[in-house]
Structure 1
Amino acid sequence: MTTQEFAQRLTEHLSRAVDGALEPPAQATPPSHSQRVGCADLPEGGPSWGVRPRAELTVTAGEKTGKYLDDVDTWLIREGLAEHDKRLRVDSPVDVREITAKHDDGTEVLVEMALDSGRFTVALTGPCTWPPDRPGGPPSSGQLPPLPAPSGPTQTRSTDTADPCRSPKLYVYNLTSRPFSGRGPHLMATVRYSDEREMEYAEILLPRDWEPRYEPGTSARNLDQVQLLVCVRVEATRDSRQDVICEYANERAILGGGRPFTFNLFESVYQVAVREARSGKLVSEFTVPGRQGGEDNCPYQMSYNRKLARGIDETAFQRRLQPLVEARR
């Protein structure tokens, strides 16, 4: 195959990785192309005049760079790239996360991120190809088979995982949900999550008629009725210097025993992203402060954590969602 033909294939690989794994705030540079002459060092060997094309881009995402590196890693696995491997390289001045993989067409993949750098690179190197300035041309020119169709997002059908909220290009709530169209009410499901594991959070509830109905004779909701997934990311901002005392009738609800249970209350803010349940498409995005007071902040069940984020302002939360529930589309 020709060098130009495979250089185009490398661009296609990079484009599919960007489209399949990344979304704002991640930003990818346009691919840069280069080539290396000589294939004798390859395991399978090759002519000294053969050319190996190369393409590379850089992804920048600030504090979320590690998360998007994981998304690219998931995409590589899902697309079936063989010889997939990842490791932490500590033999350099800066520790580097490294992922390698190989495609059936001969493309070699190298993803590298220097820890705390805020960016990572995706570099692809093609197999030995026929250079454009060499007469004759390869016997298989133009015969590079097309790539298979992308696998598409994985369905979770669960509010117990934040995957459809954190990585909507890779995961969706329910592929068979009704589209966000037609007359309301447009029913919802809520996913609450946080980046802080040492903090407790009060429940976030929707009005009952905004949620899907239960399947007849069961305690399971009809997920196909969900049109909108409400993703709520809780962020504790600062110590309020207040305590909240929570009473629990059942001491088994408290790991560690004892009641009442006293928490150190933290101010909070809730980042809300509303997505179409079947596609992950962003419908609306807004912020709601934490404003509940007293026992309204108490979570349903406790662990050992003594920190508690202030509960969401339910009135403001529902006021922002109501136009979406009632929308005529």
Structure 2
Amino acid sequence: MPQVEQSNETRRSAVDRTVVQVAEKVRVADGVVTLTLTAPDGGRLPDWTPGAHVDLTLGDGLSRQYSLCGDRWDAHSYRVGVLLEPASRGGSRYVHEQLEPGHVVGLGGPRNHFPLVPAESYLFVAGGIGITPLLPMIVQAQLLGADWRLLYGGRTRSSMAFLAELSAYGDRVAVRPQDESGLLDLAGFVGDPRPGTEVYSCGPAPLLTAMEAACAAWPARALHTERFAAAEQGPPVRTAAFDVQLHRTGRTVTVTPDVSVLEALGAAGVDVLSSCRQGTCGTCETTVLAGVPDHRDSLLSDDERAAGDCMYPCVSRSCSDRLVLDL
């Protein structure tokens, strides 16, 4: 999957754990609400950049990731959009049915694995709630005077959030509900490769797969995608157990085929901060000092996988008999 290359410093920035209060909850489309989050004392929240997301710790310890879609220049509030998933594992249902203004939730981040890189022009493609990380990117592109266009699809017009905000941009934005226009014409929108143009897309897995096909002739790093669900992975490279050596203590933990590296570490009393456990959020990123990781995440670029200097132990495993981790 083509993704933007990031520095280790960007990927490994510290994750702040704090609490925020729900200041406002607004229904913005069928099945979509926005939450405005503020510090309980009214203080400043950590800065963020377009494409960033936060972890929210909800009822019963649920932790879910949501893209920041508000005003990045407002230092005292965050905004996130939450879709009520039909097959919710509890997070979106809790937000829609139980979370109310005045309630306090845990906050992790922000972190950014989907940053907006400098370019002369941008093509943005959103599917449904995938519009959320693209909203601040559009604002940034507009501020910088870059040329840009957005193709925004959804099931129905009433299910598509933020249409009023986007209407201010006129014909730069093409709104295409499926019940009115059918499937998105991705090939027609993207067109032929153009120097200086970057393509950003976020939405359900079928959209991202179709975007990869539409951009097959583009340079490998021109397409940037963000997944809300983990990409399909093939079987692991090895099915036998392997050892993980903890560099800071010299201790060795054996990882058997039936558990993840993260689970094996936890069972051995080694605490590694984690959230999604699907290889999509980046919370558990760990430095690899020796050995060859079997990368099974949906975050690292091909170059980063080849470098082999970090891994996400919630899903990734080992190609070698031993991994040495900076733990």
TM over 0.5, shorter chain:
no
Which protein has greater RCO, CA pairs closer than 8 Å, 6+ apart? 2
For the aligned pair, the TM-score class normalised by the smaller chain equals under 0.3
TM-score of the two chains, using structure 2 as the length reference: 0.23
